[in-house]
């Protein structure tokens, strides 16, 4: 019996069918891959939430702060060393501008890197010998007030950043709504370096700009947010501006985000 052979037309039809099936499957596979990365990122943030709580237990309930400039470069993640799986840092290491991969290794920033973050960071022009930080704390204004007077009601986060003077932060024990207060947001910025003071904090207005420009990670513009009690929520950014009375603070984002997820003073 002769073996049947495929004709050229039959082979082309098979190839076409395979191509159609691949085109249908690839988007689904891509979505599944991104969903898995987002889930991994949630787990990473939860682990950092535990680190925050352990830190506050040892520091009179205060959240970590960030400093930049002439007073040094000690950022919130430097303070968490010793709680996050890394060894505690020396004073010199805390004040350093970066954690070079050639010295600390490729996996040093694993606890601070979201799985969906490409991890490419620049310190200066073209210097990528740095460690990634995928997250930023919510910003509390540091100046003549702590962000709770007229004109500063858009800066009511959990931790401050200063270029001099004494850093300030919130007391975890003083927050009245820890389950509805954002501590960390995802910030996959090329200048968000572990241990560096360029992008350690974010406030609602700046995050809104990222949302508008399509620079928030994950599908459907939904990002992961670490809450002060240690659990993680996944929201569309606009949902973080909803107040307890059901109204939105979007119209006042440049001046007042009181009673939203960004308000740690509640």
pLDDT score at 88: 96
Structure tokens at 91: 């004073």
pLDDT tens profile 41-99: 999 999 999 999 999 999 999 999 988 765 458 999 999 999 999 999 999 999 888 99
Does residue 150 surpass a pLDDT of 60? yes
Longest CA pairwise span in the chain (Å): 95
Over residues 155-177, the mean pLDDT reads 84
Cβ neighbors of 214 (< 8 A, separation 6 or more) are: 221
11 membership: H or E segment, kind and range:
helix 8-58
Choose the weakest-confidence range: 30-34, 119-123, 178-182, 236-240: 30-34
Does residue 209 surpass a pLDDT of 60? yes
**Bridge partners for 132 per DSSP:** 193
pLDDT score at 142: 66
What is the pTM (predicted TM-score) of this model?
A: 0.85
pLDDT score at 168: 82
On whether the CB atoms of residues 257 and 204 are closer than 8 A, the answer is yes
**Pairing outcome for strands 135-140 and 182-186:** antiparallel
On whether the CB atoms of residues 138 and 158 are closer than 8 A, the answer is yes
What is 105-116 written as a DSSP string?
-TTTTGGG--TT
pLDDT score at 6: 64
Structure tokens at 29: 């596979």
Residue, of 97 and 21, whose pLDDT is higher = 97
pLDDT score at 217: 82
pLDDT score at 25: 63
Q: Report the alpha-carbon distance of residue 136 to residue 91 in Å, rounded.
A: 22
Q: Report the alpha-carbon distance of residue 185 to residue 246 in Å, rounded.
A: 22
């Amino acid at each position: 019996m002769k073996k049947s052979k495929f004709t050229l037309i039959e082979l082309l039809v098979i190839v076409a069918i395979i191509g159609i099936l691949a085109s249908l499957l690839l988007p689904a596979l891509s979505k599944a891959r991104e969903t898995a990365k987002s889930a991994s990122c949630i787990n990473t943030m939860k682990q950092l939430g535990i680190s925050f709580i352990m830190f506050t237990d040892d520091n009179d309930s205060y959240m970590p702060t960030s400093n930049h400039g002439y007073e040094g470069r000690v950022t919130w993640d430097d303070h968490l060393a010793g709680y996050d799986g890394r060894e505690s840092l020396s004073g010199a290491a805390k004040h350093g501008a970066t954690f070079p991969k050639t010295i600390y290794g490729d996996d040093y920033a694993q606890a601070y890197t979201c799985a969906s973050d490409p991890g490419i960071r620049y310190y200066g022009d073209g210097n990528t010998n740095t460690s990634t930080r995928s997250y930023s704390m919510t910003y509390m204004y540091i100046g003549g007030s702590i962000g709770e007077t007229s004109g500063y009601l858009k800066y009511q986060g959990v931790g401050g950043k200063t270029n001099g003077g004494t850093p300030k932060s919130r007391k975890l024990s003083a927050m009245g709504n820890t389950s509805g207060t954002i501590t960390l947001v995802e910030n996959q910025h090329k200048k968000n370096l572990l241990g560096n003071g360029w992008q350690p904090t974010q406030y609602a207005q700046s995050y809104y700009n990222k949302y508008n420009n399509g620079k928030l990670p994950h599908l459907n513009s939904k990002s992961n947010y670490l809450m002060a009690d240690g659990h993680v929520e996944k929201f569309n950014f606009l949902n973080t501006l909803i107040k307890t009375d059901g109204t939105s603070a979007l119209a006042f984002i440049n001046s007042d985000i009181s009673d939203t997820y960004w308000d740690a003073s509640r």
